[in-house]
């Protein structure tokens, strides 16, 4: 079984970070280490992480500080550089891992020695029809994969790369100090350029917030443009790679309106999602 580190970049995650850490310690197979990389948070993130470590007694959870630069890319780079497992999981502060996540990640890399990176589907725990959202997300990512076969994607809220792959590309990934790119897409491109395999693994499940859909239209539009900017920065101009932008803008308006008037019961939604996954497992979805 491969040792799996979990790297969590964190900026002002006081509302989510304890749920995230709780899911990390309730894994069927314990992660080798969990690294929370605090990046200049101005809220209670740092205090809550340290309190969780002290109360839980989990010696494999570490709080790191990345204060030199503000931004996702330098924070993730810092975390991955400090991770020591054979496999480096990368999630967000609002991610909640399904209880077999570490086990599934380790299995994926055991099956394919040339696997550089892997991503799985997510379900949105603060949206209505939470149990259905996993199926919708899977379908969307499968369609996305079909449109982007030449350039497979990674999704930062639910992904992992091998330590070997990171050591190969860490000097090549874009610094993106202006925060204009999708750092997960940039990472996937450099894995491909170095002939590593990238896979979509539907059994590798995480639950996340749909908080991005709360953004006003101009901010959300700028977020979708990160796809094109990232590919163009690497000299790639394929029209098919614009599919994620078109898809996200299509779903923005109805979901933004829906979420505006929806008050989520996160615990109840998580229970519904987990129940639907248990039903899937009983019906043999995860059997290979």
pLDDT tens digits for 246-286? 989 999 999 999 988 898 899 999 998 888 888 877 776 65
Question: 24: closest CA among 102, 84, 92?
Answer: 102
| Distance separating alpha carbons of residues 5 and 51, to the nearest angstrom | 21
pLDDT tens digits for 39-81? 999 999 999 999 999 999 999 999 999 999 999 999 999 999 9
Instruction: Note the pLDDT of residue 284.
Output: 67
Mean pLDDT score across all residues of the chain:
93
Contact between 160 and 117 under an 8 Å Cβ cutoff? The reply is yes
Instruction: Note the pLDDT of residue 230.
Output: 96
Q: What is the DSSP string of 269-283?
A: HHHHHHHHHHHHHHT
List the helix and strand counts (H, then E) for the chain: 10, 10
Instruction: Note the pLDDT of residue 285.
Output: 60
Instruction: Note the pLDDT of residue 76.
Output: 96
pLDDT tens digits for 75-126? 999 999 999 999 999 999 999 999 999 999 999 999 999 999 999 999 999 9
Question: 220: closest CA among 256, 187, 184, 188?
Answer: 256
Say how many Å lie between the first and final Cα of the chain, rounded.
18
Helix, strand, coil percent values for the chain (each to nearest 5): 50, 15, 35
| Distance separating alpha carbons of residues 76 and 79, to the nearest angstrom | 5
Give the CATH number of domain 4-282: 3.90.550.10
């Amino acid at each position: 079984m491969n040792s799996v580190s979990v790297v969590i970049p964190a900026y002002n995650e006081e509302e989510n970070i304890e749920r995230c850490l709780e899911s990390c310690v309730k894994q069927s197979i314990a992660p080798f280490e969990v690294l929370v990389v605090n990046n200049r948070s101005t809220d209670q993130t740092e205090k809550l992480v340290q309190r969780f470590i002290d109360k839980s007694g989990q010696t494999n959870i570490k709080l790191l500080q990345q204060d030199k630069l503000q931004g996702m890319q330098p924070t993730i780079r810092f975390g991955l550089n400090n991770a020591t497992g054979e496999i480096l999981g990368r999630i967000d502060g609002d991610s909640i891992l399904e209880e077999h996540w570490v086990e599934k990640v380790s299995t994926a890399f055991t099956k394919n020695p040339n696997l550089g990176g892997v991503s799985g589907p997510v379900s949105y725990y603060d949206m209505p029809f939470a149990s259905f959202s996993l199926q919708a997300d899977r379908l969307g990512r499968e369609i996305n994969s079909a449109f982007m076969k030449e350039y497979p994607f990674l999704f930062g809220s639910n992904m992992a790369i091998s330590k070997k792959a990171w050591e190969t590309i860490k000097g090549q990934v874009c610094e993106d100090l202006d925060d204009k790119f999708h750092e997960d897409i940039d990472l996937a491109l450099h894995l491909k350029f170095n002939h590593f395999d990238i896979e979509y693994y539907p059994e590798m499940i995480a639950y996340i917030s749909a908080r991005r859909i709360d953004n006003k239209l101009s901010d959300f539009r700028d977020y979708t443009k990160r796809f094109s900017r990232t590919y163009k920065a690497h000299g790639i101009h394929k029209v098919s790679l614009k599919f994620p932008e078109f898809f996200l803008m299509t779903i923005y308006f109805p979901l933004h309106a829906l979420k505006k008037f929806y008050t989520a019961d996160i615990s109840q939604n998580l229970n519904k999602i987990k129940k639907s996954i248990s039903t899937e497992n009983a019906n043999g979805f995860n059997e290979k």
